[in-house]
Amino acid sequence: MTTRRLRMVALFYTFVLAYAGMQLYAVARAHTDLRLAWPVTGALVGWVALMTAMPFLVWRWEARGWHRPVIVGSWLGYTWMGLAFLFFWIALILELVRSALIHFDPIYFTTASAAFWQACGITGLVALYGFVDARRLRIERVTLASPKLPAGSGALRIALITDVHLGAIVHTRRLRAILAELRRVGPDILISAGDLVDGQAERLDDLAAMFAEFKPPLGKFAVTGNHEYFVGVDRALAFHEQAGFKVLRGEAVQVNEALTIAGVDDPTGQRMGQPGRTDEGAVLEPLDPGRFTLLVKHQPRIDEAVSGRVDLQVSGHVHKGQIFPFGWLVRLRYPVATGLSDKPGGGRLYVSRGTGTWGPPIRVGASPEITVFELSPVA
């Protein structure tokens, strides 16, 4: 097994153990704070085991084409996942505050059961907010001027979506809202920076038809994300083709007289033993440096060897953590700022918060976005 594959396996098991641990913390708090009987606690432990296994059960049901269990299991399992994440950090913070108050003010007193229910109440309110906020698309506008664009050519409007995760949870209603916003913006070009599809790729034909009806004058371009490989890259590419996207798999396209869009595959494919073109240097080297080059790359990693050849890199993948405070953990693995920043060696990087949701159908502190770039010549 290669080193990369070992890292993927280690990361996977770390996530599973951390998720199970967060749930068991909630069970332990319920057992001690509410003085639960052992049979009740045992039933809760069984529920934790079921919810920890639910994402894997959903994947198996998807492979067998069991559509209804996939829908029910996804909503139940991933909603619970979001609640477990929220309860863990909310309950932990409240308990630390409670302990500090008791230490510094012996008169202060709150029962353990009251503290537990307080954490449950706050978790419910934050989750409700996150569920609503995940459906409130923001339009982020970024204006860039470049001497590489011909004078008097007017502004070029490019819309960026990423991490939509079309599947059992993000489906017709959510896509309809995304497309409505895109029509309102009216871009010249639409770009998807990966993870457009998630589970149940074989049941997304209607969504592909909806996407196909949206036709910006200069085209639609996309790259693969890690979830395109999890779904099955052949099925994911077929969806993109039906939806009218040109998928850039280690290639570049000259859109007009001044703009080149380049794209590379997500490295997840190679880690899974599938072919892919991730070499940015090979794609960018033949390009005319006098043209504005936009690089589409799912993960916000910067290849400093080619930074000077890219005017703008657009990426997603990180969701800004999706549920606070996981954005802090994301920064440990991807130490780049969300939004627009300067790249070492030249050029700009834009990291989107994402347009849909993965897993839990909620967002807290990381609102979904469609990014609209206005590229114009230097005045």
Q: What is the pLDDT of residues 170-195, one digit of tens each?
A: 989 999 999 999 999 999 999 999 99
- C-alpha radius of gyration, the chain, whole number: 23
pLDDT band at 3 (very low <50, low <70, confident <90, very high): low
Query: Does residue 4 register a pLDDT over 70?
Result: no
Tokens coding 1? 């097994």
**pLDDT value of position 62:** 83
pLDDT band at 108 (very low <50, low <70, confident <90, very high): low
Query: Does residue 100 register a pLDDT over 90?
Result: no
Instruction: Return the closest-CA partner of residue 367 out of 331, 339, 340, 333.
Output: 339
Query: Does residue 200 register a pLDDT over 70?
Result: no
Helix then strand then coil, in percent of the chain rounded to 5, is: 50, 15, 35
Tokens 């039933």 locate to 43
pLDDT band at 107 (very low <50, low <70, confident <90, very high): low
Residue ranges of domains in the chain? 3-133, 139-377
Across 110-126, average pLDDT: 89
Q: What percent of the chain has pLDDT over 70?
A: 94
Across 118-129, average pLDDT: 96
Tokens 């990291």 locate to 351
**Worst-scoring range by mean pLDDT, 57-61, 213-217, 267-271, 339-343?**
267-271
- The CA-atom distances, in angstroms, between 89 and each of 7, 38, 133, 161, 169 are 26, 25, 20, 30, 25
Is there a cis peptide before residue 325, judged by omega within 30 degrees of 0?
yes
Calculate the average pLDDT of the chain. 89
Residue 186 is classified by DSSP as: -
How far is 355 from 193, CA to CA, in rounded Å? 10
**pLDDT value of position 330:** 86
Biggest alpha carbon distance in the chain?
76
Residue 244 C-beta-side C-alpha neighbours within 13 Å: 17
**pLDDT value of position 346:** 83
Q: Say which CATH class 139-377 falls into.
A: alpha beta
Q: What percent of the chain has pLDDT over 90?
A: 59
The residue ranking higher by pLDDT, 94 or 373, is 373
Any idea what the Cα angle at residue 33 is, between residues 27 and 38, rounded to 5°?
A: 55
Across 274-296, average pLDDT: 87
pTM: 0.89
Give the three-state DSSP class for 313.
strand
Query: Does residue 7 register a pLDDT over 90?
Result: no
**pLDDT value of position 308:** 81
The helix or strand, by DSSP H or E, that contains position 203, with its residue range, turns out to be none
**pLDDT value of position 341:** 92
Query: Does residue 168 register a pLDDT over 70?
Result: yes
Query: Does residue 105 register a pLDDT over 70?
Result: no
